[in-house]
Amino acid sequence: MSLTTVVFIILYAIGAILTMYNPLYGIAAYIFEWHNHPPFWWWGRDLPDIRWAFSIALVTLISLILNRKKLPPLENINYKPLFWLIFFVLNAYMVSTISAVVPDQSFLKAQDLLKITIHLALFVYIIRRPKDYHLIIWVILFCVANWGRISFQEGTNRHLGVAAPHATGGNAVAGYVMAVLPFFGIMFFTGKRWEKILSALIVPFIFNMLILENSRAAILALLVVVFFSFLWLKGRTRLQLVGMMFLGALIFFQLTNEQFWQRQEDTEFEKDTSAMSRIYLWRGVLHMIEDYPFGVGGDGFEELVVEYVPELQRRIERKHERKSAHNTFLNVLSEWGILGLIFYSGFLIHCFLILRNIKRDAQYYEHQKFYHFQAIALQLSFIGIIVDGMFHNQQYLELFFWNAAFTICLRNMQVNEIQLWNKGDFTALESFKKPH
């Protein structure tokens, strides 16, 4: 048994034990397990399949039942955005029943969405204080930092050496770590000294991952995120951003290699087969939805792709490829139909409206900068996922749903804090003390 295996088992066991005392650690352990899912790693091959994610989720649920009354008070928890997701899941099961091309596989995809919804509900119920939120964000950042270390040591061009559920391909991993960068940025701007130092040390490793994978979609998404960062950050923070952008660009260019620039410069559609294939695939989805308005179920488009995208038939048959829509929204449309796209888009729009409200209210009350900057980080992360998802399928990316849960958690905490502030209950407000 390797040292890495032993370390994983120890950390997983510690997480499970701590979870029995506080379900918040169950969320942290779940995120840790997602980044280090044993079946996806060489060191996990000898471990028994105990359904690692399900096991820690079950322990979290048991702990929640046992410790529910010990959780910090939070009144009128708002679950309304989750109704979009619930309808999305119900629609997925309906499509799997009535029109799925591969029903068994479609039901598995619907089951994945159901699990994600349950996890989101747990996130929203358990994360009740800014310090809780802050801890979970840092768990994600440390896990991504470890990915950066692994890619630096073992990664090569177009192969990062890391993977996670629903992020097994390099493009998906690049899109994920790119969307985490805004949280590093906010930690650098608003965090304590140790948080600033750690963020500055970790980000170059994330840049290295993006360069190695050489995903044009992730690079484009990063540029869009930087643009919106400049628009939304004001005053001294914007000046700091300019300095950080200059330093970040310098580090990024120092890390690039010849292969990176060759791929980035190949943007002529007629010469770029991957770009042209996306055009064919997107067109094929629009043709297919005319015949299947309710969608073809999970992985159904991959089964019918030759029928609706004849331009790629020879390539698919020769290479035995499986092609998705290579666009998150079109993939949702192809799998779960028009209703599915409405529910998915409604869920996303609702999250953006909540983030807008968080930033609006943060302007009128003291000690609300934490909510303001975290809302900006979530907005930027969402934008990164959306832009990257225009060229890759990110429908099942966990960070998209985690961001939604974090959005709801932030709003619930902010509303409760404002209510206590208006009541003058400064004793209760002490529990909402910000981490920085």
Residue 246 confidence (pLDDT): 82
Residue 269 confidence (pLDDT): 43
CB atoms within 10 A of CB 365: 13
- DSSP for 312-357, please give it: GHHHHHHHT-----SSHHHHHHHHHHHHHHHHHHHHHHHHHHHHHH
Question: For residue 268, is pLDDT > 60?
Answer: no
Question: For residue 258, is pLDDT > 70?
Answer: no
How much of the chain, in percent, has pLDDT values that exceed 90? 61
- DSSP for 49-107, please give it: ---HHHHHHHHHHHHHHHHGGGSPP--S---HHHHHHHHHHHHHHHHHHHT-SSHHHHH
Asked which of 21-25, 107-111, 119-123, 283-287 is least confident by mean pLDDT, the reply is 283-287
Average pLDDT value for the chain: 89
Q: Convert the pLDDT of each residue in 327-345 to its tens digit.
A: 999 999 999 999 999 999 9
CB 124 within 8 A of CB 409: yes
Residue 370 pLDDT level (bands cut at 50, 70, 90) = very high
Residue 107 host element (H or E): helix 103-126
Residue 271 pLDDT level (bands cut at 50, 70, 90) = very low
CB 212 within 8 A of CB 382: no
Residues 6+ apart with CB under 8 A from 208: 148, 151, 152, 155, 255
**Residue 260: closest CA among 216, 303, 217, 220:** 216
Instruction: Compute the average pLDDT of residues 230-241.
Output: 82
Tell me the sheet residues that pair with 159.
156
d(CA 230, CA 248): 14
Question: For residue 399, is pLDDT > 90?
Answer: yes
What is the Rg, in whole angstroms, of the alpha carbon atoms belonging to the chain?
22
Q: Convert the pLDDT of each residue in 60-77 to its tens digit.
A: 999 999 999 899 988 888
CB 128 within 8 A of CB 432: no
Instruction: Compute the average pLDDT of residues 284-302.
Output: 92
For the chain, what's the residue count? 436
Task: Give the torsion through C-alpha atoms of 176, 166, 331, 215, to 10 deg.
Answer: 40
SS3 breakdown of the chain: % helix, strand, coil, rounded to 5? 80, 0, 20
Asked which of 3-7, 24-28, 84-88 is least confident by mean pLDDT, the reply is 3-7
For residue 369, the one-letter residue type is K
Beta strands in 122-198 (DSSP E): none
Residues 6+ apart with CB under 8 A from 87: 343
Residue 272 pLDDT level (bands cut at 50, 70, 90) = very low
- Copy the structure tokens of residue 52: 């690692």
Tell me, what DSSP letter sits at residue 392?
S
- DSSP for 369-387, please give it: HHHHHHHHHHHHHHHHHHH
How much of the chain, in percent, has pLDDT values that exceed 70? 94
Of residues 235 and 300, more confidence is placed in: 300
Residue 245 confidence (pLDDT): 80
Could you give the angle at the alpha carbon of 431 between the alpha carbons of 425 and 436, nearest 5°?
Answer: 120
CB 181 within 8 A of CB 222: yes
Which range is most confident: 54-58, 250-254, 423-427? 54-58
Question: For residue 115, is pLDDT > 90?
Answer: yes
3-state DSSP assignment of residue 165: coil
Helix spans in 191-257 (H): 193-213, 216-232, 235-255
d(CA 60, CA 25): 8
Residue 114 pLDDT level (bands cut at 50, 70, 90) = very high
Q: Convert the pLDDT of each residue in 194-233 to its tens digit.
A: 999 999 999 999 988 988 888 888 989 999 999 999 888 8
Residues 6+ apart with CB under 8 A from 114: 89
CB 336 within 8 A of CB 106: no
Tokens 């959306």: give the residue.
386
d(CA 78, CA 32): 27
Residue 277 confidence (pLDDT): 83
d(CA 404, CA 81): 9
pTM for the model stands at: 0.92
Tell me, what DSSP letter sits at residue 70?
G
Instruction: Compute the average pLDDT of residues 241-267.
Output: 71
Residue 422 host element (H or E): helix 398-423
Tell me, what DSSP letter sits at residue 190?
H
Residue 131 host element (H or E): helix 130-154
Residue 408 confidence (pLDDT): 97
Residue 257 pLDDT level (bands cut at 50, 70, 90) = low
Residue 270 confidence (pLDDT): 45
d(CA 298, CA 182): 31
d(CA 293, CA 305): 16
Residue 379 pLDDT level (bands cut at 50, 70, 90) = very high
Question: For residue 274, is pLDDT > 90?
Answer: no
Residues 6+ apart with CB under 8 A from 105: 297, 298, 299
- Copy the structure tokens of residue 421: 């502030």
Q: Convert the pLDDT of each residue in 139-192 to its tens digit.
A: 999 999 999 999 999 888 778 889 999 888 888 999 999 999 999 999 999 999
